[in-house]
Amino acid sequence: MNDLRRYFENNSGNLIDKWAHYFDVYDRFFSRYRGTDVHLLEIGVYHGGSLQMWKNYFGDKARLFGVDMHPYCKQFEDEQTQILIGDQADKDFLHRLRDQVPRIDIVIDDGGHTMTQQINSFEVLYPHVSPTGLYVCEDLHTSYWRIYGGGYRRRGTFIEHSKNLIDFLHAWHSENPSQFKVSDFTTSTYALHYYDSILVIEKSPISKPYRKTTGVRALPVEPPEPTYPFWEKTWLTAKGALKRLLMQPPNSRKT
């Protein structure tokens, strides 16, 4: 059992409300920040128990920020913890929050769990997370529950929104940049880690991936590679030739 889970199981402080399997995921990604001056922001303060838990886990140097819509959560402020009151679905509030909290290494979204709340918070806060930080969105099962705006493969759910992020992680390999091209997300995201009901997005500055071979060939022939069907190949060749022609300066074109 890791330290976080042990703290949770023995908790006699303020109430903590978490799914039990999250503790392994937290420890896997958060342990490297223990004892550091990590800046962690959690959306959803509730009874303040999880902020107490983070303080215990990360240590005295950590700076904690809690966000909640209920003003009574202000009472959980202390020398290490600042509470910001507002609606996580309100993008103006989130932009103001970015000015108030200039550095965030970890965001945990454990707020209201509706689709607009999760998507708006991600859209505004993800770019603000430190270049090697983490964004954690919890309770993704609400993407399947109608009362939260969810439904299986329903448009506009957080889970469907996050599937687009899988595309953008791969945008380096796009064959049609006018439709699908490298974005800020592509160049700043190392990995998306999906677990039941919890997504951890790991940031890191990323440059264009490249393929490389080392060593000597050991096969007498190359294994077959996929080829385009005849008409598609003809069309691609013609398109390439036309593009090259149009890109030539006009005075160098043969008449």
**Binders of ligand SAM in range 20-59 (CB under 6 A):** 42-46, 49-50
3-state SS string for 166-211? HHHHCHHHCCCCCCCCCCHHHHHEEEEEEECCEEEEEECCCCCCCC
Q: Which residue from 3, 16, 55, 182 is in contact with ligand SAM, where contact means CB under 6 A?
A: 16
Q: Is 68 in the site for ligand SAM (CB under 6 A)?
A: yes
| Residue 92 touches ligand SAM, criterion: CB under 6 A | no
Q: Which of 113, 141, 173, 193 is the catalytic position?
A: 113
* 141 classed as catalytic: no
Q: Does 149 sit near ligand SAM (CB under 6 A)?
A: no
CB-based contact 59:124 (threshold 8 Å): no
Are 136 and 109 a contacting pair, CB within 8 Å?
yes
| Residue 127 CB, nearest approach to ligand SAM (Å) | 19
Query: Shortest distance, CB of residue 17 to ligand SAM, whole angstroms?
Result: 4
63-68 and 81-85 beta bridge pairing: parallel
Describe the chain by its helix, strand, coil percentages, rounded to 5: 40, 20, 40
- Based on the shown chain and the rule CB under 6 A, indicate whether residue 105 belongs to the binding site for ligand SAM: no
Candidates 25, 52, 64, 110; binder of ligand SAM (CB under 6 A) is: 110
Q: Specify burial of residue 144 (Cβ count, 10 A radius: 0-12, 13-18, 19+).
A: middle
Query: What does the binding site for ligand SAM look like in residue numbers (CB under 6 A)?
Result: 16-18, 42-46, 49-50, 67-70, 87-89, 110-112, 117
Active site residues: 113
